[in-house]
Amino acid sequence: MAGMLARDHELARVLYLSKGAGSVASLALEPADVVSCSQGVTCELGECCAPTDWSCREGVPAEGGVCIWQVPAPWTSYGRDTDGDGVGDGTTSDRATPAERQFALVHREEGAWNYSPEVFALWGLGGGRETYFDADGSGAPTSGTQLLSTGPPPRNRSCSAHQSMGGDSCQPRDAAGVPLMAPIWRFVMSVGLPGE
């Protein structure tokens, strides 16, 4: 939702926790690009699934599987909705919120790490995974930092890495009970922006 709001409305700031856009299974967009797989065959940036199980819930098939990976949803490439039909028009350079007012924090152990850097690069926030500031390190981000990554496990074993990015019961905390991401939230909400 934040990604669509930033697409259509000029916002003061945006912080994407985990991702800025949804994803779809690669085969949904490019069915001709099928890569076969089976047990013992690894799929780069994806999973080996049955052709009818794009969520890979059935496990790795013994044979006849296909490699499935998540790719940015098509709407990611659109600019703001100028005709009011709810669908973006133009290109990402037409997004309403300037790129320098947008920030992203992605967990390196969740599925969004496989496609979110492409989304944020498309929206003008920066380059690939190697350009992300490690929010778990000892240093603090500086002005101009927009892309951040984190890696601590969720607070509760029943939570996923994705859930640790938002839910109170899932967020990793320090010994005093303060969410580990609190310094990053403060940075994003207080760092000076161009033109301020």
Cα–Cα distances (Å) from 184 to 106, 138, 150, in that order, read 12, 12, 10
Cβ atoms of residues 68 and 46 within 8 Å: yes
Q: Where are the alpha helices (DSSP H) in 105-190?
A: 116-122, 182-190
pLDDT tens for residues 140-168? 899 899 999 999 999 999 999 999 998 89
Name the more confident of 57 and 154. 154
pLDDT at 114: 85
Report, as an integer, the average pLDDT of 63-74: 85
pLDDT tens for residues 90-144? 888 899 999 999 999 999 999 889 889 999 999 999 888 999 999 998 788 998 9
Please report which confidence band the pLDDT of residue 23 belongs to, taking 50, 70 and 90 as the band edges: confident
Q: Where are the alpha helices (DSSP H) in 83-143?
A: 116-122
For the chain, state the CA radius of gyration. Answer: 18
Please report which confidence band the pLDDT of residue 193 belongs to, taking 50, 70 and 90 as the band edges: confident
The yes-or-no verdict on residue 44 having pLDDT over 90 is: no
DSSP characters over 26-45: HHHH-TT---EE-TT-PPTT
Distance, in Å, from the CA atom of 13 to the CA atom of 102, rounded to the nearest integer, reads 6
Please report which confidence band the pLDDT of residue 186 belongs to, taking 50, 70 and 90 as the band edges: very high
Name the more confident of 129 and 75. 129
Q: What is the mean pLDDT of the chain?
A: 88
